[in-house]
């Protein structure tokens, strides 16, 4: 896990608006790594991490290298991201490989969304989605532990919105499920994505 880099590096384009949030990724990895500190129930509910005054990548490095630090809890959100990372760290291990998995998964989903909207003769939607994603630097989200679940949910939601556009009841159920999953993965940061993008499509 030593390949996480600095707290706020720039991604792909060397501009301020393309900064990645490795600090939050490090916190989520720290929480996944520190889950053994408490009992399984406390670990899930309280989401412990080690670090005390130290934050971000520095805290994660000290945890991984075995330096014992005070434990703090952050029970408000990122439960789902921490839960997901425990499995990915066990199965894949390296942070760089997990990032590649995120990138390929979201890229395939976005391409499928564009293909589906084009196939359904929603040409304006295809163009608008593509331009918006490029202009808003959406590719930065593809590498982030914090944003990957929400971007994935938003894209899957948009795919289902196109699929169920003539079935309002299924659409309502889909939005309800998306909202529930968003609250589990990312309660406060960008929940509007998983509602806004499917509604727009």
Element (H, E) at 134: helix 123-135
Domain boundaries along the sequence of the chain: 16-91, 95-200
Determine what percent of the chain falls in helix, strand and coil, rounding each to the nearest 5: 65, 5, 30
Give the Å distances, CA to CA, from 180 to 72, 79, 89, 120.
26, 13, 25, 28
What is the pTM for the complete model shown? 0.81
Residue 93 has phi, psi (to 5 degrees) of 90, -75
Q: Three-class SS string for 11-57?
A: CCCCCHHHECCHHHHHHHHHHHHCHHHCCHHHHHHHCEEECCCCCHH
pLDDT number for residue 101: 92
Half-sphere exposure of 200 (CA within 13 A, CB side): 15
pLDDT in tens, the chain (201 residues): 445 667 777 766 676 766 777 778 888 888 888 777 777 787 777 877 777 666 777 777 777 777 656 677 776 667 788 888 888 888 887 888 888 999 999 999 999 998 998 888 888 888 888 888 888 778 888 888 888 888 899 999 999 999 988 898 998 898 889 988 888 887 666 677 888 888 888
């Amino acid at each position: 896990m030593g390949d996480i880099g600095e707290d706020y590096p720039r991604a792909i384009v060397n501009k301020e608006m393309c900064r990645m949030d490795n600090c939050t990724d490090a916190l989520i990895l720290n929480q996944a790594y520190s889950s053994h500190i408490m009992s399984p129930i406390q670990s899930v509910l309280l989401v412990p991490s080690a670090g005390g005054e130290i934050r971000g990548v520095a805290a994660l490095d000290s945890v991984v290298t075995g330096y014992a630090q005070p434990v703090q809890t952050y029970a408000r959100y990122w439960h789902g991201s921490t839960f997901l990372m425990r499995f990915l760290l066990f199965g894949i291990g390296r942070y760089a490989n997990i990032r590649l998995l995120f990138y390929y998964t979201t890229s395939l989903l976005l391409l499928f969304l564009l293909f589906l909207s084009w196939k359904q003769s929603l040409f304006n939607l295809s163009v608008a989605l593509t331009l918006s994603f490029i202009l808003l630097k959406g590719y930065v989200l593809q590498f982030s532990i914090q944003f990957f679940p929400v971007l994935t949910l938003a894209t899957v939601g948009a795919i289902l919105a196109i699929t169920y556009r003539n079935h309002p009841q299924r659409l309502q159920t889909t939005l309800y499920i998306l909202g529930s999953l968003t609250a589990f993965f990312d309660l406060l940061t960008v929940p509007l994505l998983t509602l806004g993008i499917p509604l727009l499509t």
